[in-house]
Amino acid sequence: MCGIVGYVGHKPVVDILLDGLAQLEYRGYDSSGIAVKCSDSIKVYKAEGKLANLRDELSFHAYELSKSTMGIGHIRWATHGAPTVINAHPHTCNCGNLVIVHNGIIENYKELKAELEAKGCIFKSQTDTESVAHLVASIYAEVKDLTKAVHLATQKIQGAYALCIMHNDEPNKIVATKRNAPLVIGLGENEFYIASDVPAFIKHTKRAIYLEDNQVATLTPDKLIIEDENSAKIEPKVELLPWESVALSKMGYKHFMLKEIHEQPDIIRNILVGKLKTSDSEIELNEVNLTKETLKNLNRIQVIACGTSLHAAMIGKYIIENFCSIPVDVEASSEYIYRKTVTDKHTLVIGVSQSGETADTLTAIKQSKARGSHILIITNRPDSAMAREADSLLSVNAGIEVSVAATKSYIAQLTSFYLLALYMAEIKGTMKSDDLRNIKSEMLLLPQKIEQILSHKEEIQKCARKYSGTRDFIYIARGINYPTALEGALKLKEISYINATGYPAGELKHGPIAMLDETMPVLSILMKGSVYEKLLSNSEEAKARNARMIALTNSTDPKLDDLFDFIIRVPEVMELLSPLIAMIPLQLIAYYIAEFLGKDVDQPRNLAKSVTVE
Ligand code: F6R
């Protein structure tokens, strides 16, 4: 998380930096800042909170900065130190000659700080980054060469970082480097851009170089030099980015989240085009780079992901096991990377990530790749670090997701899992042809059914309003919709800050039932199928403890009217596909509760869209 941006060239830099940071706001919005080269020295401007605050601050300096054509900027998601102006980047060394912006975590910052303080450096902030500012400055004082100083400093730094650095004594230069954090350089005409992510400069250029770990780049208006860790010059690979600059608009919706929820029917349609043509045709998934023979013999799959993507992965497990009879393990990447895991070349490893940048998932993928596993990545960002590690790449094509709370990317990941599971089932011959035909024909109807839900949102809005005053919320489900309960709860807590939890309903009586009383809403995801009756009994048990019962159901069973205080009805759908339908009202409930409470729906507190620290 955190986003960095830099520019050297001939155009006024302030707007380039601010526009770039605006495109990176998904990476954090605790504070922002820029450092620009002015005629006499580098000047630093910072503001707490959203980027708009920095824009306001800079409006007072518009004239004096109008001639500046070089600078670096930062948008912060706080890791070390509160989100204050002091802790905002850019950070400087004591004399102010060196400025630095950083994305990542310097793991040995305490040791570095002690060493630098002993040499007389005075630290002003609580950040890990400031130690790098002092470190590079102290090395620079000896070697008098910024590129060399950065090379030497990186030998002492442990952790993950992307860094952009400027120095008053080398006024036309930005030096940048990275390790386990993204950094991409955009190539213009006598100008260079550098950023954590492509949207920061895509409207200026599509030619780019992805910097690799431990490389050091020196950018001046007329020259770009990239060196490997031994200071040997390298010839970088220039890529043509597959991106269009899109003006991100809410299209009349109050929030991006609501707009993105409404995009879901078309996203499913787009994913299915060319892959699932009719209920009688075979699934076409050329993206899977494994021979039919290998797929037939595949006997284990490991899925790794975080957050919402982890919930999609849990449903993925359910359907792959059901359709293909292959055992599937699912694990949070952050847990997977710190234990002895047994993936090997006989395991298919699937990484799921909207951003394709999540640090834990990326590390997990790299670990499995090193052990010889085939890596299949399901992502919304075909240009991401994870995509570059992929042996097979399933790009979900949900379009840019602006809202921090993931909605359309989740539905797109799920749809991709269904296609993958059906594709493998066809090759392995593990499903009856009637079952295959039924599920395919129902899949083709999903967009319409979701549209039906979206066109009758008033009931959901009413429900949201009724329960918006609650402090806690429980979601229960069984079977394939247990991850739906987890995801529904996650959506609610991340944007409304209500303490919401999802449980497998059968587990309620093993402890959580103690929390139930007349103040606790319990939402039961009651989809017809194998666990319907069981879940009904679990709902009765909750009702008997006076909980405020809500049903999300596709059943018209009249006995539900006595059991539940509020019923949200969704269209008929077969149990195996029900997660794709059930999730839509849960996204809307979370949205409307947060909106009703006046929360910052698209940029909830403490969160960032891309989590590039472990
Ligand atoms: C929740 C949410 C997060 C992400 C998680 C993983 O709405 O968006 O839980 O799902 O940070 O991110 P990706 O999918 O980019 O790896």
Q: Which tens digit of pLDDT belongs to each residue from 293-312?
A: 999 999 899 999 999 999 99
Q: What's the pLDDT at 534?
A: 96
Q: Which atom of ligand 1 is nearest to the CA of 413?
A: 14
Residue 405 beta carbon below 6 angstroms from any ligand 1 atom: yes
Q: Has residue 100 got a pLDDT over 90?
A: yes
Do the beta carbons of residue 604 and residue 490 sit within 8 Å? Answer: no
Residue 406 beta carbon below 6 angstroms from any ligand 1 atom: yes
Cα–ligand 1 centroid distance for 356 (angstroms): 10
If you take atom 3 of ligand 1, which residue's CA is the nearest one?
A: 307
Residue 361 beta carbon below 6 angstroms from any ligand 1 atom: yes
Cα–ligand 1 centroid distance for 307 (angstroms): 5
Residue 308 beta carbon below 6 angstroms from any ligand 1 atom: yes
From the candidates 2, 121, 306, 324, give the one annotated as an active-site residue.
2
Q: Has residue 28 got a pLDDT over 90?
A: no
Question: How far is 439 from 83, CA to CA, in rounded Å?
Answer: 49
Mean pLDDT of 508-518: 95
Residue 354 beta carbon below 6 angstroms from any ligand 1 atom: yes
Q: Has residue 383 got a pLDDT over 90?
A: no
In this prediction, residue 245 has a pLDDT band, given cuts at 50, 70 and 90, of: low
Where do the domains of the chain lie, and which CATH numbers do they carry? 3-252 (3.60.20.10), 261-453 (3.40.50.10490), 456-596 (3.40.50.10490)
Question: How far is 473 from 523, CA to CA, in rounded Å?
Answer: 8
Q: Has residue 243 got a pLDDT over 90?
A: no
From the candidates 113, 178, 317, 609, give the one annotated as an active-site residue.
609
Mutate to test the pocket of ligand 1, among 255, 257, 358, 414 (most ligand atoms within 8 A of CB): 358
Q: Has residue 74 got a pLDDT over 70?
A: yes
Mutate to test the pocket of ligand 1, among 197, 257, 308, 314 (most ligand atoms within 8 A of CB): 308
Q: CA-CA distances (angstroms) from residue 368 to 86, 95, 179, 212, 347?
A: 40, 46, 19, 20, 9
Q: What's the pLDDT at 368?
A: 94
Q: Taking the CA atoms of 562, 563, 568 and 570 in sequence, report the sign of the dihedral they define.
A: negative
Q: Is 121 a catalytic residue?
A: no
In this prediction, residue 246 has a pLDDT band, given cuts at 50, 70 and 90, of: low
Q: Has residue 247 got a pLDDT over 70?
A: no
Angle at 421 between CA 506 and CA 404, to 5 degrees: 70
Mean pLDDT of 114-133: 96
For residue 339, how many other CB atoms are within 10 A of its CB?
Answer: 7
Question: How far is 401 from 256, CA to CA, in rounded Å?
Answer: 8
Please give the sequence-ordered ranges of beta strands (E in DSSP) within 472-575, or none if there are none. 472-477, 499-504, 521-526, 548-553, 566-569
- DSSP letter at 62 equals H
Q: Is 463 a catalytic residue?
A: no
Residue 467: CB partners within 8 Å, gap ≥ 6?
473, 521, 548, 550, 566, 589, 593
In this prediction, residue 39 has a pLDDT band, given cuts at 50, 70 and 90, of: confident
Residue 494 beta carbon below 6 angstroms from any ligand 1 atom: yes
- Side-chain-side CA neighbours of 593 within 13 Å: the count stands at 28
Q: What's the pLDDT at 498?
A: 98
Cα–ligand 1 centroid distance for 352 (angstroms): 10
Cα–ligand 1 centroid distance for 607 (angstroms): 10
Mean pLDDT computed over every residue of the chain: 95
Mean pLDDT of 121-145: 97
Cα–ligand 1 centroid distance for 494 (angstroms): 11
In this prediction, residue 341 has a pLDDT band, given cuts at 50, 70 and 90, of: confident
Q: What's the pLDDT at 211?
A: 95
Q: What's the pLDDT at 609?
A: 78
Residue 499: CB partners within 8 Å, gap ≥ 6?
471, 472, 473, 493
Residue 355 beta carbon below 6 angstroms from any ligand 1 atom: yes
Q: Has residue 1 got a pLDDT over 80?
A: no
Q: What's the pLDDT at 173?
A: 96
In this prediction, residue 607 has a pLDDT band, given cuts at 50, 70 and 90, of: confident
Residue 413: CB partners within 8 Å, gap ≥ 6?
309, 312, 316, 352, 354, 378, 380, 396
Q: What's the pLDDT at 408?
A: 97
Cα–ligand 1 centroid distance for 406 (angstroms): 7
Q: Taking the CA atoms of 221, 227, 231 and 232 in sequence, report the sign of the dihedral they define.
A: negative
Residue 180 beta carbon below 6 angstroms from any ligand 1 atom: no
Mean pLDDT of 552-576: 96
Question: How far is 517 from 381, CA to CA, in rounded Å?
Answer: 44
**What share of the chain in percent tops pLDDT 90?**
89
Q: Has residue 612 got a pLDDT over 90?
A: no
Q: What's the pLDDT at 430?
A: 97
Residue 313 beta carbon below 6 angstroms from any ligand 1 atom: no
Cα–ligand 1 centroid distance for 561 (angstroms): 36
The H or E element that residue 102 is part of is strand 98-106
User: Which tens digit of pLDDT belongs to each residue from 519-541?
Assistant: 999 999 999 999 999 999 999 99
Mean pLDDT of 456-463: 95
Q: What's the pLDDT at 146?
A: 98
- pTM score, two decimals? 0.86
Read off φ and ψ for residue 295, nearest 5 degrees.
Answer: -65, -40
Of the two residues 197 and 177, the one the predictor is more confident about is 177
Q: Has residue 614 got a pLDDT over 90?
A: no
**What share of the chain in percent tops pLDDT 70?**
99
Mean pLDDT of 390-406: 94
Mean pLDDT of 211-226: 96
